[in-house]
Structure 1
């Protein structure tokens, strides 16, 4: 496989493009199968476009690494292991298998942290909620642990804890996710007990690592002592567990439920900052905002000129990220996304939109590859 520039000989009016065409930054310009409708499109693609040419490659040629493929692979592997552990039938080499999943998450972050964190907002239907939420929480936990410059063993511990924190809830979690949101007394009791049950299930399969298990046990504690299952406060809560606590709450807020739409990432961070006055660690809440940004990558925004855009990468300042416009000023989907610099007054951010608000505008589902290129391919 080689990357080749689009030439005039490759295109003609009315043809269906036989490959994905990418820009200089790797962002997807036009998807395979798009019909060339004008000479202007041809000129644009010749000027900016490249494609992956497999004509000289063998049958085993593969495309570049993809963050989403790594994360979806982690979800697929985790789903089977979660069910096996909860059912008391752990497979041989369980610890190694869980560490391999944690390594997949870490590799995805290292490949492109922006795509990894944006996937929490735009990759929600690729796995059942109990699985996907754990992988999402593992992403944010590891981002925070790296930002704190924790040792590799600590980074592995928080990642493994996030992947296994809800083993004691597997039978209930998807049903609660899809339901009306009200718990009866028995359900609330199971919710309050699940950190200890999850730790016990890990112990039954031979996993007793203190750092890992402590994070599982304490991932619902609060700084002011109002959490569960122990009601610990402040310094009584293990420092690594505080990373998982914060990641868990952020990921829960930005996930849609049967009884409510997903919050915007910006609103979720605002809520977390308010909670930091009582239930969350103030410095860690600020760290989360610093790492994800005021407008987290993947957030939808409306610009001053009326376009709807998705935040694609950070800008020079946290309040002026780079975005890709996906809907025009009158709400029409754009065949080719337009990169905008929000420092420009006409393209400044007017408001944040939720995924549900954008869907209500009849916007087609966002394919992450359109914004972040081949590293976001499914």
Structure 2
């Protein structure tokens, strides 16, 4: 897909401007397990052990060298650690804020209807694939067209639902979310409609091959054996084969599905492709697949916050994904993606309701609770605007917030 993948329309910032840890007292770094030392703190990435069996992801401090040796003996190779850093003041971008309008009630209603419709379409398609029956060509194609049209109208409504509705039929909502996020990212990169259609289809069907994986392996609560992981590694190719056998999917769509678990440094599967040998579309699908998996609730763990997912992804630059692609993705969604609950420095609670690609740390927010957690009339603030900046540091994002600890559903404040 190199021939149709345009460069981002906006100039790329330097890594320091883009790093999700900018202005934060900590950063996340990917290292080899052999590099772990007592006193380091491991981060839970939220990535599935069925697809990352060599990644050690149990959050907590490293107590001793013996613990590290035990992890190496168990076959763990990589991990993510949290590092303290000197706090820095938030950077202020000189660029103008995004002019994209905020989604309205009708935008959210259309996005929610599309999400509800997708569960039936995707479940029927997966069921037919599992049973070896003919696959429906029309319903998924219509679904992808609706995704493209909805994203063209206002992508923030669909992105917010992808970030908020994390408990519904994961296998099916995950497929839609990957399709949506791939199209949103593709639109940001300036792709034409045919290329967006290809990304949407590849995202929708990226895990189709798992219909041929035994449930005992997919649902195994512990680490996979090498033999079981070999079966898991077959699912990208199996998915492409299922579609190809029924005359579905263009060569580029099939390649994106087959290679979405390849890594930029060549350490992925099934073919060990690296760098320029890896199609950009496959990297896009793999990137948004990882992001959505991290930020979704699963039976064996809760979701991690979107901004933490961005920091983890940024630590994968030049390893799992190209630096240029990751920087563009972070600019596209923002360090605080639409739908993210956040706490402002004055103690009030807000929801991110609009992204700002030029200034990822300065989205548009809707304040919903005051510092005493009392509901207040919703006030929408563009944190990048000169008027809001003039209010001072009280109106800046201090930290992400898990509203479930407050017993509240953030979705109820958006619609």
1:86, 1:201 within 8 Å by CA — same for their partners in 2?
A: no
Q: In structure 1, how many angstroms separate the alpha carbons of the residues matched to 2:107 and 2:104?
A: 15
Equivalent in 159, 174, 178 of residue 133 of structure 1: 174
* CA distances 1:57-91 after superposition (whole Å, capped 9, x unpaired): xxxxx999611112221232121112112321124
Q: In structure 2, how many angstroms separate the alpha carbons of the residues matched to 1:176 and 1:330?
A: 47
Could you tell me which runs of 5 or more consecutive residues in structure 2 were left unpaired when the two chains were aligned. Answer: 1-101, 384-388
Given the superposition, is the C-alpha separation of residues 156 and 270 from structure 1 closer, same or farther in structure 2, using an over 3 Å criterion?
same
Displacement of 1:229: 0.7
Equivalent in 159, 169, 176 of residue 117 of structure 1: 159
- The residue number in structure 2 matching 1:82 is 126
Q: TM-score, normalised by structure 2?
A: 0.67
- The residue number in structure 2 matching 1:161 is 202
Equivalent in 341, 347, 353 of residue 306 of structure 1: 347
Given the superposition, is the C-alpha separation of residues 173 and 134 from structure 1 closer, same or farther in structure 2, using an over 3 Å criterion?
farther
Q: How does 1:246-265 map to 2 (within 5 A)?
A: 246-265=287-306
1:177, 1:258 within 8 Å by CA — same for their partners in 2?
A: no
Any idea what SS the aligned residue of 2:209 has? Answer: helix
1:195, 1:219 within 8 Å by CA — same for their partners in 2?
A: yes
* CA distances 1:137-167 after superposition (whole Å, capped 9, x unpaired): 1111112222222232221111111111111
Given the superposition, is the C-alpha separation of residues 208 and 122 from structure 1 closer, same or farther in structure 2, using an over 3 Å criterion?
closer
Any idea what SS the aligned residue of 2:297 has? Answer: coil
Q: In structure 2, how many angstroms separate the alpha carbons of the residues matched to 1:338 and 1:203?
A: 51
Any idea what SS the aligned residue of 2:337 has? Answer: coil
Could you tell me which runs of 5 or more consecutive residues in structure 1 were left unpaired when the two chains were aligned. Answer: 1-24, 29-61, 374-378
Q: Which has the larger radius of gyration?
A: 1
Q: In structure 2, how many angstroms separate the alpha carbons of the residues matched to 1:335 and 1:271?
A: 34
- The residue number in structure 1 matching 2:405 is 360
Given the superposition, is the C-alpha separation of residues 173 and 327 from structure 1 closer, same or farther in structure 2, using an over 3 Å criterion?
farther
Any idea what SS the aligned residue of 2:368 has? Answer: strand
Q: In structure 2, how many angstroms separate the alpha carbons of the residues matched to 1:311 and 1:84?
A: 39
- The residue number in structure 2 matching 1:283 is 324
- Hey, which of these two has a bigger chunk of helix by percent? 1
Q: TM-score, normalised by structure 1?
A: 0.74
Q: In structure 2, how many angstroms separate the alpha carbons of the residues matched to 1:197 and 1:101?
A: 23
